Structure 1
Amino acid sequence: MNSELTRLLEKYEQRILGQNTNLRLLLAAVLSGGHVLLEGVPGTGKTQMVRTLANLLGGTFQRIQFTPDLLPSDITGSAIFNMKENTFQTVKGPIFTNILLADEINRTPAKTQAALLEAMEEKQVTIQGSTFPLEDVFFVVATQNSIEFEGTYPLPEAQQDRFLFKLYIEFPSFEEEQHILKEMLENTFSVGEADSVLDMASFLSIQKEIEAVTVSEDILNYTMQIVRKTRESDAIRFGASTRAAISIGKAAKAWAYLAERNYVTPDDIKMVARPALRHRIQLSPHAELEGATVDQIINELVGAVTVPR
């Protein structure tokens, strides 16, 4: 693994405690060019997790606080009339950046959420009929509160499918949480911005190295069997799409790279399958009535597929 990336991970884990697996999954998703959805209750450090990663990666960073009255033009930008010059001018919105933090994305209605669709899929934005390309390195990390919370709007299926991963941010362990509390009360917790470890040129170079990670025919077959199982299960109402299979493959290559391997193993596929599928499938009514969770069903499906030797 790249030495700069090793140093980045070390710094990341020093600043964000109790989330080591999620930190690595978040980094793997970003390195594979994907967008990430973070879900958890307020106060679990979702925003801090994204801001710290953005600082460590370098590049430009913008944060949008999503609220019920946010307009699509507040994200993408708009064309305004310049009376002095008697012409229309395009004012670009905060989406023109390398790293976009969409904070509490599900607190705004679907119309505004949809303003991100074109940008996330095609890396471009259309403003008043004119199309503008985004940066070569562009990814969205969105945070959302659990949908049971008041004042939240579920993300449309098409919007969710644009995210490579959905990560659940759980509470840290007792010891880790006690350590955070102690450092905060003693004012010894690192609250300042982290210094960047990478720049965008280094980031693109690492992405090129990840593209060279090998995926064998057996691993491709294993991935497709998992995805197709989601379409055949009685517990699932809507199965995963082809984009889900592509997401698993790309994320597994990045995960293998972080493990200092130049090839993907079945364990890499198992590691990334759950966060890559949990937001792309819908449980059938009888599965929900029985109290099954999406993660449980995914684990069962993955376990039912024969692992290649």
Structure 2
Amino acid sequence: MPSLSSLSDVALHAVWAHLLGDLHAHVAVAQTCRRLRDFCNRHDDLWRAACFTAGFGRPQRSPVAFADEEPPSWKALACAIVKHASDCEIGSCMRANACFAQQYKHLPYTGLRTLHPYQLVEFHPLYFYLHFSQSAHASQGGGHRRSISAHFPTLSPSPSPPPPVSIPDAVSILLTHMPTFPECRYAQYGPLCRHPNASCAFATFPPVDRLEFENADGDVFMIVENTEGCTILDVNRALVQLIPADQYHLEVAYEHYQELALTSGLSLTQYASAVVREKGFLGDHEYPFLKHIINSF
């Protein structure tokens, strides 16, 4: 009876293909023996296929901070996702793609595509969970939560009437980029970049490499692109760039940072020096308004 060490790469490819869709199984198999570990280490494209068929992509990193560096390998990404699933307390992060599990079983690998007229796509529930106020309405009025311009994905010319106008809440988006209390790191999205499962989930089903967003007048005001598939984090980072650096949002950020600093027993400057080193799983996270607040002291 042949042993694993005697199997050819072709045979191991066949074994690997049977596991597509189960990222935990891929990581477990890669740790079975030296032969499988060496095989998996030599074929990062297999890890990309494993991530894709589980509904995960690789978010883009900051082009300024990492212009000359390679992105994390697909194997490293897969291992981070599997490990985080055992630590996180947020069900929608641990089981980020449970909502699309059956659809991915019938989607061929490399089923990535560009949005085009008459193509139907479904946004991941996390897109709404992270970016929309939990309150019934978001308002522009004084003292109320403020909102980013109404928008929805471009599907024009559309075979049907456009979807209802969606209004992401600027404060909700802002909070996904700011830190939270240390004891809540795995219980809250704060910041989102600490949650690789939620961050790497494809923003739509089927996955697409480009998303355009229109305002209520039909003008495109935001484009999200990722040749490996637009993820939740890609959309999230594009949205935070739309938040105006006005006094209202500056005060929201200041109050949040000040509360965390007081709880930690540090001054705001000391707290900022400590938290700024926590860059998330991609190593490139920047905390909104933090430098501005510190420089004002």
TM normalised by structure 2 equals: 0.27
Greater RCO structure (CA 8 Å; 6+ sep): 1
TM normalised by structure 1 equals: 0.26
Considering fraction of residues, name the structure with more strand. 1
